[in-house]
């Protein structure tokens, strides 16, 4: 691949689907990426959005990393060089067969937590590999710290 990344972030559309409040979502993502950036540099974070379905507004939520090609299926970005797969809930996360996977589902403030819980249960049924679900930022930091070196 022409892209050089160690983190593959697989986006889920949270705004146009009314799953999160925009300002809260931006704040949650900023907090999450502050931890990710202790272990990976911004230019090693590839962001995969849900193709043409992703509104520009959603693509502006994360200021770090770089966008991967919208028209390429996410599975083609799975790679042995990827040290961390990151996302919310998606087929893209569930289909990963090997790698270290963190779902940020519980680190986001959902408007309706039932929707989150259904999504997580659905992903857990379909997953091909273990997925970690930190419940707070401290747990996220511990998971990262146990598996990666700080930069």
Alpha-carbon span 67 to 9, nearest angstrom: 10
pLDDT at 141 over 90: yes
For residues 63-77, average pLDDT: 93
What is the model's pLDDT at position 104?
98
Task: Kindly tell me the sign of the dihedral angle through the C-alpha atoms of 43, 15, 106, 70.
Answer: negative
Is the pLDDT score of 52 beyond 70?
A: no
**pLDDT for the residue numbered 3:** 84
DSSP letter at 38 equals T
| pLDDT at residue 1 greater than cutoff 60 | no
Give the span between the Cα atoms of 21 and 69, in whole angstroms.
27
pLDDT tops 70 at residue 16:
yes
pLDDT for 70? 87
The tokens for 48 are 């995969």
101: pLDDT strictly greater than 90: yes
Q: What is the rounded average pLDDT of the residues 87-114?
A: 97
How far out from the chain centre does Cα 30 lie?
12
The torsion defined by the Cα of 11, 13, 19 and 23, in degrees rounded to 10, comes to 80
Average pLDDT, the chain: 95
Calpha distance 101→84 (Å, rounded): 6
**What pLDDT, on a 0 to 100 scale, did the predictor assign at position 55?**
80
Average pLDDT (112-137) is 98
The pLDDT of residue 92: 96
Dihedrals phi, psi of 102, to nearest 5 degrees:
-120, 130
Contact 102, 143 (CB under 8 A): yes
Beta bridge pairs of residue 7: 45, 84
pLDDT at 71: 87
pTM of the model: 0.95
pLDDT at 2 over 70: no
């Amino acid at each position: 691949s022409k892209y050089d990344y160690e983190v593959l972030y697989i986006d889920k559309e949270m705004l146009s689907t009314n799953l999160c409040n925009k300002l809260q979502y931006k704040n949650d993502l900023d907090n999450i990426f502050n931890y990710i950036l202790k272990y990976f540099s911004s230019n090693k974070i590839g962001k995969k959005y849900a193709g043409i379905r992703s509104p520009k507004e959603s693509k502006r939520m994360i200021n770090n990393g770089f966008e991967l090609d919208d028209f390429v299926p996410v599975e083609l970005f799975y790679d042995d060089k990827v040290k961390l797969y990151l996302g919310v809930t998606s087929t893209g996360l569930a289909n990963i067969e090997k790698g270290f996977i963190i779902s940020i589902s519980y680190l986001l403030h959902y408007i309706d937590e039932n929707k989150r819980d259904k999504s997580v249960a659905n992903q857990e049924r379909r997953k091909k590999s273990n997925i970690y679900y930190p419940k707070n930022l401290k747990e996220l930091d511990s998971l990262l710290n146990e598996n990666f070196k700080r930069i």
